[in-house]
Amino acid sequence: MPRPAVIALEDGRWFTGEALTGRGTAGGELVFTTAMVGFQEVITDPSYHGQIITYTFPLIGNYGVHPDRDESETPHARAVVAREITNYCFNHASNGTWLDWLAERNVLAVSGVDTRALTRHLRDKGALRAVVSTEALDARTLVKAARSLPAMAGADLVRAVTRADAHALSAEPAEGPHVVVYDFGVKRSILRQLEMQGFHLTLVPARMSARDVLRLKPDGVVLSNGPGDPAAVGYAVKNVSRLLGRVPLFGICLGHQLLALALGLRTYKLKFGHRGCNHPVKDLMTGVVEITTQNHGFAVRSDGQLPRGVEFTHLNLNDDTVEGL
């Protein structure tokens, strides 16, 4: 049975809806994604760890779920918010409905919310700390609870999602180049894409030292995606700086920001982040504009003098933020 739910924001605004799955109270940074699809991938993406996701598309769940779409073992979002979550799916490849999937994992999913108004509020005010509850419905109490939550800026969330030990993905030695992947919260789809290129992959924990990584004799190192503030992951920045010039490096999302910090650049928190499948990015080397899928709440600062040997190669055409260097 649906239960009344309240979503309270730190600035005093609150919204109501019905919890279709899960129960209790969940708190985190409230963000929105404009993607029409990928609802299962989004909630299992470790980059969303500690966040509450608002889906701007009005109908979510209509093509069901499949295990191959999971980006990790478990959901990482604290809760999900939508205008309508359907329990019907029309997809020959689906093996169940999204609502059943959410219920099995006890994810707090709130439907019937005016997500248009909520998204406009977040667009104007920026991502906000929030609390979603089915048990305490007094908005003023929940607003106070939201204000007591830790801020995303300054938060090292990598430690909550990284692996504990190094692990070679291939059981047998591969013929392709050996690539070490720093696991800051890596998505399965990234690993699949790397394997499709013929790379032999070794996953290592976020705190593995540069010396230990070099002992693995990699042909290259990938710095993965992940949650939280890159400036708070000082141990990773230190390791990346020690790898510079000694092995080819490629950073994605958080990894890109860590690489920038190691090069002497700075990062900052975006007002409401980039989350969706329709972000235009211009390659400054070729002039080509590509439509990209993004999920990041921090960016590399573009002001000030660039360190020697560093140049920006990609810009987001929505807000002129740095997307590649």
Determine which helix (DSSP H) or strand (DSSP E) holds 19, and give its type and residue range.
strand 14-21
Q: Which of helix, strand or coil describes residue 159? A: helix
User: What digits encode the pLDDT tens for the residues 274-315?
Assistant: 999 999 999 999 999 999 999 999 999 999 889 999 999 999
pLDDT in tens, 168-199: 887 666 678 999 999 999 999 999 999 999 99
As given in the structure block, the two tokens for residue 129 are: 């700390």
Find all residues with CB under 8 Å of 18, minimum gap 6, and list them.
Answer: 2, 3, 4, 5, 110, 111, 112
- Tell me which residue has tokens 């005016």: 114
Tell me the HSE value of 277 on the side-chain side, using a 13 A CA sphere. 10
pLDDT value, residue 172: 64
Mean pLDDT of the chain: 96
What mean pLDDT do residues 128-147 have? 96
Report the C-alpha gap between 125 and 285 in whole angstroms: 34
Distances (CA, A) of 39 to 6, 15, 71, 200, 275: 22, 21, 11, 30, 12
Nearest-angstrom CA–CA distance, 5 and 15: 9
pLDDT at site 89: 87
Q: Does 130 have pLDDT greater than 70?
A: yes
Cα(95)–Cα(75) distance, integer angstroms: 18
pLDDT (tens digit, 9 = 90+) per residue, 72-97? 999 999 999 999 999 988 888 899 99
277 Cα distance to chain centroid: 13
Residue type, 23: R
Residue 192, C-beta contacts closer than 8 angstroms, at least 6 positions apart:
none
Q: Which domains does the chain have, with CATH numbers?
A: 3-147 (3.50.30.20), 158-324 (3.40.50.880)
How large is the greatest C-alpha to C-alpha distance in the chain, in angstroms? 61
What's the pLDDT score for residue 93?
86
Strands (E), 143-215: 167-168, 178-183, 200-205
Q: Which residues are CB-neighbours of 49 under 8 A, at least 6 positions away?
A: 76, 77, 157, 160, 161, 185, 227, 228
Dihedral-angle region of residue 163 (phi above 0 means left; psi in -120 to 50 means alpha; beta otherwise):
beta
CA atoms of 184 and 224, how far apart (whole Å): 6
Per-residue burial over 264-287, b if 16 or more Cβ lie within 10 Å, else e, is ebebbbbebbbbbeebebbeeeee
